[in-house]
Structure 1
Amino acid sequence: MARHAKSLLPRWTSRVFMVELDGAPLYFGIQEKHREEKTLRVFHQFQKQDRCYSLLVHSRDRIRSAKFYGELKDKLLRDLPSGCDLTSMSSFLPNVKDSLIKGYFLKGCAENSSHIEQLLSELEQHEPVLVCSYCGGEDEQWTQHLWSRAESKATGKAKQYYLVSSEAPAYHPSTLNIINSHVFYSIDEACDVLKECGDIIPEAMSVLEMLPSRVEARQKPDFPVIVIEGLDATGKTTLTESLRDTLGATLLRSPPQCLSPWRARFDQEPPLIRRAFYALGNYITAEQISQEGMKTPVIVDRFWHSTAAYAIATAVSGPLCNLPLEGSEVYRWPSDLLQPSLVVLLTLDPEERKRRLKNRGQGKTDEEQELDHNHLFRLRVEEAYRRIRDPACVTVDASPSADLVLHQVLLLIRRKCHL
């Protein structure tokens, strides 16, 4: 870990730290000297005798970092002594892309501190994790002690910093790392991720063998391409099949059927790998669209909008204001991916959607379960759909009968696609 920690140290005091406490973010910075003026109580809810620690996962190997971060929480929950509180935290350089590193913050007490520190010391020596401890002083001034072996070797002791309050950034820090970590904007970037994990995920090579060339993924067909988007139970399946029959079109789905054997495998992976897999599914679908669109109109059940909207909503927690602002490059369409002629977003009242889901009686995906119990997540998904541009979604109310929804969408298609 020393090599990777050393790369952070030159800008360590420029970093801002965020801890999720009681469901709200707390931001703080650090400084090397204790200033004379009264310092704000950064950790006002903690007692002086509390023992606090942070673990930030950081490695030049992004695959290792992503997998270890996903495994670390389970390890901590399993091995920490009872009575410890564990919450999410992160550190970032304000307004610097790809500077976000994620980890966990934990609070213990004097009685279990030796057990905690033994566990953290073992992690710090063998895993891609940077460990800090935090202590409260008589003057209510908290200090951070960096456990980095790189720093200890240079100074002979752990480096101490003083904690100071920091204002919330203009944008939620998660937005710094969305591009090519959660949402991919080229076939090459997504391919790179699967190539890097080929040694540990053999199925990745099978996916790569199915990919089209860049030209095939963006080749514009002769006939219109209409994408139908929306949350589960908004009527996408009924509508897409009706459009296929009415227009004499070809119906495709994304992710494509050819990736089905590997979906369960990649759904178990951390977001970096899982999102790259689904991004590549869009490029395979694009090749199918190009081929079929030379003969007939093409209807597509979900496409890049779904991949991006769910990824953005998952990467950014909290209320809608945490999403990247409208017009952000996060919402742009990939330059090397075929653009549809029309994208229709079906919307439905949340209670009506739940009723339809209950009547279907099908098993729910993890994301569908999250939509059900997390109101803010659903709002973020819906808003991310609406903010994606070039092409933007045209919203259609899916609450009327299937025939009326079909009629409304056909009018849109005839007006915009001249069918």
Structure 2
Amino acid sequence: MAFARRPRAPLPLWLLSGRLRAWRGLCAPAMAPPSCFALELTDCTLAHFALGAEGGSVPDPRLSELLGPPGRSYSLCVPVAAGDGCGARVRAARVHQSLQHQLRRGPFQRCQLHRLLGYCPGGQAEGVQRGFLLRDPSEGQDTRRALLELLSRCQEAARPHLGEFEADSQGVLWQRAWVLQESRQLQVGCARVLPIPEPPLHPAVPHLLSSAVFRDLDAARAVLETCTSIPEAQAVLDLVDQCPRQVQKGKFPVIVIEGLDATGKTTVTHAVSESLQAVLLYSPPSCIGQWRKIFDDQPTIIKRAFYSLGNYMVASEIAKESTRSPVIVDRFWHSTAAYGIATELSGGLQHLPPAHHPVYQWPGDLLKPDLVLLLTVSPEERAQRLRDRGLEQTREEAELEANSVFRQKVEASYRRMENPRCLQVDASPSREEVLQTVLRLIRATFNDS
């Protein structure tokens, strides 16, 4: 039955305090709901807002359009249980991924889905909560009920916080917090939505070094140690433990060739290895390459840990082979980092970490190559090559082709890598021309050294 939507006044303090105590009990030992949010808009800009007491603020029409009438909007942020470090981040990432899948089907298919990041002022990595804004074009409350029932099936320690947005008669936006308790929808909080300035650094940047770009082997290893439900995770750990730590490069040059899919990496790496009589290695190595599909379907933190450990396995092979001949490596650390950064950060190019940020620095315990070459082609050329190949696309390949902003973020992250940086090579000309360009760069580098 249709009804007119009438904004309600905030709850009395005596009632609100009791409900908040109940909510804290339901959420413990998870983090409290975040106080600031970054909402990704359709143009890949971010709108930031906070929840607070009634007060003056400069209106943001973008927020009114997404959070106010007509329709209803809901926020869901996945908390990270306190005191459990890596294990809590992995559990939250799994809940986030599962939530994303479920919000794209069933009663939610009619809704728009936007990326939402909850954070605390000050940029603490542990204060970041990933989530979604669900925009329901209808005025009914069925979506709220369906969301509460969905959240009730989540693990208690990582159960997302649910907020519902509403505008009062003056057009002021409010967020009401809801929980499902004994089959009853219970409102446990109400706060005003206050637009806030965009912080100088994307709030998720401090989170990158523990979720997507691991600074050493132990950080990546700790992630897979929590993945006991994935049998292959233990196999990866066993293999990496067989590799020596802090290996050293031999006397022969080590050259890494990077690039997006369909930029000619396979052709160039084979041709260069033949020309230089070099050993050709791949990351991830063949011993774990058979499990790529399994880990590609996992949340970013698990997926990037898998690829990071693969880099250390390849480093062990490089150390051995470079004592006997030159070594060519098809992808290495730069790929792992560039894709991780682009995936984890919402928004457009302007929200990437600035140049010289630590996230672009080579890990201190990973064998460093002598030269890194980045093959590039135009988006149109790359798309045509993908179509000509006629092969099944990976999820990342499909994302690169469909999402130009994602592709631009990957490419920009590649260009900001340091120590060693990537030397760009235009891979648009013929195979022979590209090969000769690559060989000239290699000769110039090692003749000068």
TM-score (normalised: structure 2): 0.83
Structure 1 letter corresponding to 2:163 = C
Matches within 5 A, 1:202-221: 202-212=231-241, 216-221=245-250
Aligned residue number for residue 7 of structure 2: none
1:228 is aligned, of 257, 278, 282, to 257
Task: Tell me if the contact between 2:31 and 2:80 (Cα under 8 Å) persists in the aligned partners.
Answer: no
Structure 2 residue ranges without an equivalent (≥5): 1-23, 82-87
Aligned residue number for residue 141 of structure 1: 172
Q: What does the per-residue CA deviation read over 1:203-259, in whole Å, with 9 as the maximum and x for residues that have no partner?
A: 100010110568545322221101111122222222222222222211111111111
- The alignment status of 1:19 with 2:76, answered yes or no, reads no
Q: Count residues with an aligned counterpart.
A: 408
Task: Classify 1:402/1:208 alpha carbon distance in 2 versus 1 (closer, same or farther; 3 Å).
Answer: same
Structure 2 letter corresponding to 1:17 = F
SS in 2 for 1:161: strand
SS in 2 for 1:294: coil
CA offset at residue 177 of structure 1?
A: 1.6
Q: What does the per-residue CA deviation read over 1:172-227, in whole Å, with 9 as the maximum and x for residues that have no partner?
A: 233232112011111101100000112x1111000101105685453222211011
Aligned residue number for residue 302 of structure 2: 273
Task: Tell me if the contact between 1:48 and 1:137 (Cα under 8 Å) persists in the aligned partners.
Answer: no
Q: Distance in 2 between matches of 1:349 and 1:22?
A: 24
- The alignment status of 1:171 with 2:198, answered yes or no, reads no
Q: What does the per-residue CA deviation read over 1:51-87, in whole Å, with 9 as the maximum and x for residues that have no partner?
A: 4321111132222111111011222333436754433
Q: Distance in 1 between matches of 2:162 and 2:110?
A: 20
Structure 1 residue ranges without an equivalent (≥5): 151-155
Structure 2 letter corresponding to 1:295 = R
Structure 2 letter corresponding to 1:272 = I
Structure 2 letter corresponding to 1:145 = R
1:105 is aligned, of 129, 133, 141, to 133
Aligned residue number for residue 44 of structure 1: 64
Structure 2 letter corresponding to 1:334 = P
Task: Tell me if the contact between 1:53 and 1:131 (Cα under 8 Å) persists in the aligned partners.
Answer: yes
Relative to structure 2, which stretch is displaced further, 381-390 or 399-408?
399-408
Matches within 5 A, 1:7-406: 8-9=31-32, 12=34, 15-23=35-43, 24-32=45-53, 34-35=54-55, 37=56, 40=59, 43-45=63-65, 47=68, 50-60=71-81, 61-80=88-107, 83-98=110-125, 99-108=127-136, 112-114=140-142, 116-117=144-145, 119-120=147-148, 123-124=151-152, 126-127=154-155, 128-147=159-178, 158-198=188-228, 200-212=229-241, 216-406=245-435
SS in 1 for 2:257: strand
- Sequence identity of aligned pairs in percent? 39
Task: Classify 1:212/1:220 alpha carbon distance in 2 versus 1 (closer, same or farther; 3 Å).
Answer: farther
Task: Classify 1:172/1:300 alpha carbon distance in 2 versus 1 (closer, same or farther; 3 Å).
Answer: same
SS in 2 for 1:158: strand
Task: Tell me if the contact between 1:100 and 1:177 (Cα under 8 Å) persists in the aligned partners.
Answer: yes
SS in 2 for 1:106: strand
Q: Distance in 2 between matches of 1:358 and 1:82?
A: 30
Task: Tell me if the contact between 2:149 and 2:180 (Cα under 8 Å) persists in the aligned partners.
Answer: no
Q: Distance in 2 between matches of 1:22 and 1:397?
A: 32
CA offset at residue 260 of structure 1?
A: 2.1
Q: Distance in 2 between matches of 1:383 and 1:253?
A: 23
TM-score (normalised: structure 1): 0.88
CA RMSD of aligned residues (A): 2.7
Task: Tell me if the contact between 2:173 and 2:192 (Cα under 8 Å) persists in the aligned partners.
Answer: yes
Structure 2 letter corresponding to 1:70 = Q
